[in-house]
């Protein structure tokens, strides 16, 4: 329903961890991702017992809960924050505080819900939770980030 926002994301398919955005407004976002059984990180993490690395769980949470919401806030005409989005813009995660409660296995679908805490001067801070298909809490945390403009040197 809100998947047109995905065209603004700066990730290629091998590092895009969003399948669907099901809710999106100025206060939050909900989206999901199904972990591919053949993802590159399962081969060695762990041999014969693959588990999704915490850094990938954190990345999924950041992409859906922070980057998608941040881009939405910027392109929705919310210019009060003093930030504009252009082709040279990219998101930067500036801080996380994440707690993990359950493992995520290959092939599992996870649902990420983010609630905006504040968006000021181009900085976004969110409370983000990830649940599995059984609605069990997998991870939660506070994430913050900013949108920066790329400087290309010739």
Phi-psi sector, 82: left (phi>0), alpha (psi -120 to 50), beta: left
Closest CA to 16 of 1, 31, 27, 26: 31
CA distances from 94 to 40, 119, 122 (A): 26, 14, 12
Which of 45, 109, 115, 125 does the annotation list as catalytic?
45
Mean pLDDT (the chain, rounded): 88
pLDDT given at position 87: 60
Region of residue 48 (left: phi > 0; alpha: psi -120 to 50; beta: else)? left
Query: Which of 146 and 117 is assigned the larger pLDDT?
Result: 117
Report pLDDT digits (tens) over 112-134.
Answer: 999 999 998 889 999 999 999 99
Predicted model pTM: 0.89
Euclidean distance between CA atoms 90 and 11, whole angstroms: 10
Tokens of 93: 């995660």
Cα angle, residue 60 at apex, residues 31 and 6 outer, rounded to 5° = 55
Complete domains list, the chain, with CATH: 3-149 (3.10.129.10)
Q: For residues 3 and 80, what is the distance between their CA atoms, to the nearest angstrom?
A: 25
Tell me the percentage of the chain whose pLDDT exceeds 70. Answer: 87
Q: Is the pLDDT of residue 33 over 90?
A: yes
pLDDT tens sequence across 36-77: 999 999 999 998 999 999 999 999 999 999 999 988 888 876
Known active-site residue 45: yes
């Amino acid at each position: 329903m809100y998947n047109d926002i995905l065209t603004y994301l700066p990730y290629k398919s091998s590092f895009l961890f969003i399948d669907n955005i099901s809710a999106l407004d100025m206060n939050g976002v909900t989206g999901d991702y199904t972990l591919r059984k053949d993802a590159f990180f399962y081969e060695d993490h762990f041999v014969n017992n693959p588990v999704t690395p915490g850094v990938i769980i954190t990345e999924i949470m950041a992409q859906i809960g922070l980057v998608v919401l941040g881009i939405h806030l910027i392109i929705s005409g919310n210019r009060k924050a003093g930030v504009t989005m252009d082709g040279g813009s990219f998101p930067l995660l500036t801080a996380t505080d994440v707690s993990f409660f359950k493992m995520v296995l290959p092939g599992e679908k996870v649902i990420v819900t983010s609630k905006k805490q504040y968006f000021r001067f181009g900085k976004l801070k969110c409370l983000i939770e990830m649940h599995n298909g059984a609605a069990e809490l997998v991870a939660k945390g506070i994430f913050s980030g900013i949108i920066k403009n790329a400087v290309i040197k010739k």
